[in-house]
Amino acid sequence: MSEMLPGTRIQRKNRRIILRAALEVFSRHGFRGSTVDQIAAEAGLSKPNVLYYFDSKEAIHETLLTDLLGTWIAPLREIDPAGDPQEEILAYVRRKVQMSRDFPCESRLFANEILQGAPRIEGFIRGELKTLVDEKARLIRAWAASGRINDLDPYHLIFSIWALTQHYADFDAQIRMLRDDDSEPLDGAEAHLLMLFRRLLAP
């Protein structure tokens, strides 16, 4: 049943409701700590209704991850080899900050999967993601060799961008607790990170 593609408007609506509810539940409790009952309660549907569309918790989780992966790596794909190296990398930082702003639950879903050893997306990481990261690493290395940016390890640069931008989504609760005001966790983050990376990249 997990492979079914609902045809009616109500079926499509219910499927979206279930996936949105599951995203909230998985992002809060992780895969192991989540249940179909929790997802049903979050969705405002009965458990049998949820299982009509997805035959298991695993099927729901797999659908969410599959739907997420293309969106998740799109900002890295957009780095343009023909652009100015510093500005292309800084634009990537901006896109990653925006991802943390727009998709915090998705970020935590992805982080929880990685913390478990990526059992459901290992093929994606070793395949499509590795190919893309290797491609961008070669580009960054070439930019550095030409003197257009600082000579730095391209993989650690990419990992640092991920760590410093996704932190704002994955550790949102901690940031809110530590701030002494009512500002949003990402307030001022983009300007701060752009300053850091601009200095790091300067040849």
Question: What's the chain's average pLDDT?
Answer: 92
Tell me how far the alpha carbon of residue 54 is from its chain's centroid: 23
Task: Say which CATH topology domain 9-55 has.
Answer: Arc Repressor Mutant, subunit A (1.10.10)
- Our measurement of the distance from residue 81's CA atom to the centroid of its chain's CA atoms, rounded to an integer in Å, reads 23
The predicted-structure confidence for 39-98, as pLDDT tens digits, reads as follows 999 999 999 999 999 999 999 999 999 889 989 999 999 999 999 999 999 999 999 999
Euclidean distance between CA atoms 85 and 44, whole angstroms: 49
Q: 65-201: which CATH architecture?
A: Orthogonal Bundle (1.10)
Domain boundaries, the chain: 9-55, 65-201
pLDDT at 3: 43
CB 76 within 8 A of CB 134: no
pLDDT in tens, 152-191: 999 999 999 999 999 999 999 999 899 877 788 888 999 9
Residues 91-126: pLDDT tens digits? 999 999 999 999 999 999 999 999 999 998 999 999
